Amino acid sequence: DIKMQKFQSFPCTFSTLRLLLLWGIVVGGSQLEGLCSEGEWEQGIYAKVTNPTLSPSHLKDLPGFTRSVYKRDYALITPESQVFSALPDWTKTSGAYLITPAMDSHFVMYIAQMKENATSALPQQDIERFLFVVKGEVVLSTGAEVFKLSVDSFAYAPPNFKHSVKSDISAVIVVFERRYQRLGNEDPGFLAGSTEQQPLVETPGEVFTLRKLLPTNFSYDFNIH
Ligand SMILES: *[C@@H]1O[C@H](CO)[C@@H](O)[C@H](O)[C@H]1NC(C)=O
Ligand SMILES: *[C@@H]1O[C@H](CO)[C@@H](O)[C@H](O)[C@H]1NC(C)=O
């Protein structure tokens, strides 16, 4: 069970923190709820991901200004560092890579903004994929089954598993891709679910709640919290 070590973050709000929590960072989310104004909540729980605040106004016009920080074992990537461009073979989608192996990580993480009727492409050979919906809704087809994934839903596709993601309405998803590393004897299986359905992991004495989105056995070589 290799935990993802790197993460990506946005200006501080509760919705951001909730996201960080999912992605393996431990924060006292409930204590920080007060940081969000009502208006932000109306745009959805991940509004700060899909509609981020840009640089502070007094620094907005400074060329090259960024609050992003890159360290050996973590990175804080703020919206002004996100560069959106077409994703290879996806249609009607623009993507911003947040983490890539060029930054020494063992996975890729990107935001994909899918317009109405956009379609995904498959990952490369032997690459597993995990996706998480932060805005809108996507339809994931595996050939045998069709899944409607709304905000807070996720799916895991093992390496070389044929699937496609389509958005009937505009949607934003966060995608992790990684070269699968075999730890046990059994292959990982496809799965789709929603955060709410995942059991709470006991964390006695802590102020946060914790859920794991993938099974914790050796078929899966990483997890998302
Ligand atoms: C999306 O597809 C539907 C059904 O094919 C079509 O009616 C609609 O016009 C399309 N929307 C856009 C923006 O292309
Ligand atoms: C891992 O968990 C999945 C889902 O619960 C299950 O289908 C699979 O058989 C398990 N694999 C092993 C090696 O225990």
Range of the domain at 119: 3-211
pLDDT at 2: 36
Residue 205 lies in a domain: yes
pLDDT in tens, 148-202: 999 999 999 999 999 999 999 999 999 999 999 998 899 999 999 999 999 999 9
In a domain, 19, yes or no: yes
Residue 216 within any structural domain of the chain: no
* 74 belongs to a structural domain: yes
Q: For the ranges 2-16, 30-44, 55-69, which has the lowest average pLDDT?
A: 2-16
Does residue 129 lie in a domain region? yes
Q: Determine the distance separating the centroid of ligand 2 and the alpha carbon of 215, expressed in angstroms.
A: 7
User: Using an 8 Å Cβ cutoff, are 155 and 203 in contact?
Assistant: no
CA proximity to 155, closest of 179, 126, 178, 133: 133
Minimum-distance ligand to the CA of 119? 1
Q: Which ligand has the shortest distance to the CA of 212?
A: 2
Residues 6+ apart with CB under 8 A from 92: 114, 115, 116, 117, 118, 119
Whether the CB of 116 sits within 6 Å of ligand 1: yes
What percent of the chain has a predicted confidence (pLDDT) above 70?
A: 77
Separation of alpha carbons 122 and 216, rounded Å: 25
Strand 2-3 to 222-223 pairing: parallel
Q: Using alpha carbons, select from 147, 149, 146 the residue that is nearest to residue 136.
A: 149
Is any atom of ligand 1 closer than 6 Å to the C-beta of 104?
A: no
Compute the distance from residue 150 Cα to the ligand 2 centre, in Å. Answer: 25
117 in a domain, yes or no?
A: yes
**What digits encode the pLDDT tens for the residues 93-113?**
999 999 999 888 899 999 999
On whether residue 221 sits in a domain, the answer given is no
Task: Count how many domains the chain has.
Answer: 1
Supply the pLDDT for residue 111: 96
In the chain, which residue ranges form alpha helices assigned H by DSSP?
14-22, 38-42, 47-50
CATH number (domain holding residue 84): 2.60.120.10
Q: Which of 185, 186, 202, 142 is nearest to 166 (CA)?
A: 142
Residue 218 covered by a domain: no
Atom 1, ligand 1: which residue's CA is nearest?
117
